[in-house]
Chains A and B, each alone.
Chain A
Amino acid sequence: MKPAKLILNIEKMRLSFATQVYRANTLRDVFVQTFQDPFSVLLKAQNRLEVIRDLNLKVYEGDRIALVGVNGAGKTSLCRSIAGYYTPTAGKISVHGKVRAIFDTMVGIYPELTGRENAGILVDFLYPNLVDKEEKIREALEFTELGHFLDTPFKFYSNGMQARLCLAVLTIDPTDLLILDEVFEGADQFFREKIAKRVLSVIERSGAVIFVSHSADQLQRVCNRAVLISEGRVHFDGSVKDTLAAYEKTHGKG
């Protein structure tokens, strides 16, 4: 039997953030502190927040992986690192193929432009080499059932309408590695069922999928493998059923 193609290989990955100075401070504060206590500013030890610690993960073609873990375990940071937002502090991420990551479904690129125009821009960014682009955009827009609202500025859309448009566009075409991070959160009840079928279709056609959700039903419906992330490490890697059991055992039933 031919071994499945390796799509993602993460070796000893670490990710940490410097948390000193920032956010609460302003340049004015830094200026004042530098004059008041220059030694403390220069010699202050750097606090680092360790988000991912020596994480190893291999993803093969055909894997539909559920990432499971409590809030703050490092799931989204891991997904963002794979998608290229974060550069690992140490270790290596190798992706063999194209990655498409979806983290939010309620954001318009230009809120003043209409839903139809935003969909066009989004498609240009997500699928630069899409064949039959116009036809596929038309089909996705039809799927949203937004009708005349498609020609209304995106900023006037409700959360549900924004999610409909974004999800329809984001599921136009499959890719080698698809990352879906809690993508159903904004969709309304009726549309959730409808979009679930569409998402399942794009998942089936994609090489591998990493799926983040807090819904055990969704994970069991979509995934064939699950990884439990705890304190930035892979705590358990196995079938969805076994991983969810390990999750419950580790963190208790939520």
Chain B
Amino acid sequence: MSVDAFASWQQIKTLTFASIKSRYRNTFAGLLWVVMSPLLMFGAQSYAFKLVLKLQFENYPLFLLTGLMPWIFFVQSVQMGTTSFVAQGRLLKSFPIHPFVCLSAMIADNLINFMLTFTLILLPFLFYAQNIHLLHFLLLPVAVFSLFIATVGVTLFLATLQVFFRDTRFIMDFVLSIAFYLTPIFYPKQYVSEKWYWLVSYNPFAILIAPIQSLSRDHLESDYFFSLSLSYFTALICFGIAVLYWRRKKNQVYFFL
């Protein structure tokens, strides 16, 4: 099956809306959960780090929000997407639906949930705080899009790997639980000592969320555009590696599904 860009876009659109419809059919509670679970996570972490551990950092709740929400989106997408080829094997082998289209639609559905929740939680900050820089805010969708590209790439790679190695998902859960602590999500990167700073500098997720986290700054950072470019570079590398791996393994994937 060849991938015609326009046809693929149309198919991703169709499947994304169908996926949203399918997920929330007759379940208002399902929609509520999508909004409530990140909100509760955000509330609990704000409480633990700001009020209990008393982390002294300017605009801490907003900083936490801009790191935690993208992390939740990424982890949910990876967890759902890694098993998607195996789970949908019969469908993928029966109809002319490119696995990439299926995966992108699933992640786009997650992205819409993420943006909805993120906006809902962000609204009070927009109304009551005067410390958001307009350019950071206007370029937020651009920054989020690089995260989307990277998420599609990482998930495509892992979903392909899962076809051959059925414990990929469990190993990824373990890796993600470690990565959460190694990524400056609930602590600012300035807190990391020089000796361990490479863990931030070379951490792909830290690079991807840096332009989103800029939203918590009240001034335009001097390296903002560099950080945005670096996030796109990282996203395209992730995506490129995944596409190359998929192309190399395509026959085997269909064979083993």
Contact = CB atoms under 8 A, between A and B. Distances in A.
A85 B93 contact: yes
A151 interface: no
A113 B1 contact: no
Interface stretch (B55-63, B94-102, B236-244): B94-102
Contacts of A103: 93-95
A113 B14 CA distance: 13
B158 to A, nearest CB: 11
B254 interface: yes
Contacts, number: 90
A113 B18 contact: yes
B219 interface: no
Contacts of B251: 15, 17, 86-87, 89
Contacts of A86: 250-251, 254-255
A52 to B, nearest CB: 11
Contacts of A107: 90-91, 94-95
Contacts of B201: none
Interface in A78-93: 80, 83-87, 89
B124 to A, nearest CB: 34
Interface residues of B, number: 33
B104 to A, nearest CB: 14
Contacts of B96: 83-84, 100-101, 125-126
Interface string B147-189: 0000000000000010011111001000000000000000000
Given A104-B93, A109-B97, A124-B11, 17 more contacts: A25-B164, A26-B166, A26-B167, A28-B167, A84-B96, A104-B90, A104-B95, A107-B90, A107-B95, A109-B15, A109-B18, A109-B95, A113-B22, A113-B25, A125-B14, A125-B96, A128-B10
21 contacts: A25-B164, A25-B165, A27-B161, A27-B167, A27-B168, A84-B2, A86-B254, A89-B251, A103-B94, A103-B95, A104-B93, A104-B95, A109-B15, A109-B18, A110-B21, A112-B23, A113-B25, A121-B14, A121-B18, A125-B14, A125-B97
